[in-house]
């Protein structure tokens, strides 16, 4: 197979098997991953590099995105903005195309929105809100939530309530 044509189904089958194994590992070892996530992502990079079939760049980057999303869902530290930022930095560093940061940032924003941290989520959504209508809606929702419900996050100001509404309408 080295140097010859490799059907796309073979590559996707190998990636699906690896995803299944990694996702089950994430679910059972979430605390260990939280403690040493750079090592975990290093193992992911090793798994991807040691496959016996060449993985296209886009499939490689999408695999990293799926792992990041699963880590955010399983992690107990996902409410810590420094942890989320560090995971994003490590994951983007593993990608072959370093310009494809949006999917990692959107995964972080979705997790932060789910746990009630709209200010932090809006920070991840801000670079992309004008490019995609769905992201723009999420961005507006963050500010609408701040206007309606407030937040316990650092950086929230009740005096700025009307400004949050203005930001949501833009």
pLDDT 10s digits, 6-16? 778 888 888 89
Cα–Cα distance for residue pair 103/69, rounded to 1 Å: 9
In the prediction, which pLDDT does 4 show?
66
pLDDT digits (tens, 9 = 90+) for 39-48: 999 999 898 8
pLDDT digits (tens, 9 = 90+) for 103-162: 999 999 999 999 989 999 999 999 999 999 999 999 999 888 888 877 667 666 666 766
Taking the C-alpha atoms of residue 162 and residue 158, their distance in angstroms, rounded to an integer, is 9
> Is the model's pLDDT at 170 over the cut of 80?
no
Tell me the domain boundaries of the chain: 1-115, 117-170
């Amino acid at each position: 197979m080295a140097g010859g044509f490799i059907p796309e189904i073979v590559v996707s089958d190998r990636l699906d098997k690896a995803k299944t194994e990694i996702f089950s590992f994430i679910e059972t070892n979430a605390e260990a991953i939280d403690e040493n996530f750079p090592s975990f992502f290093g193992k992911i990079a090793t798994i991807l590099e040691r496959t016996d079939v060449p993985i296209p760049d886009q499939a490689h980057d999408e695999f990293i995105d799926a792992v990041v999303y699963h880590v955010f869902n399983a992690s107990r530290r996902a409410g810590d903005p420094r942890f989320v930022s560090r995971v994003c930095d490590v994951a983007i560093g593993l990608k072959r195309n370093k310009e494809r940061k949006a999917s990692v940032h959107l995964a972080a924003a979705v997790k932060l929105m789910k746990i009630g941290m709209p200010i932090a989520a809006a920070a991840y959504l801000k670079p992309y809100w004008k490019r995609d209508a769905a992201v723009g809606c999420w961005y507006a929702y963050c500010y609408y939530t701040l206007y309606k419900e407030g937040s316990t996050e650092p950086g929230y100001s009740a005096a700025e309530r009307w400004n949050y509404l203005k930001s949501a309408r833009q």
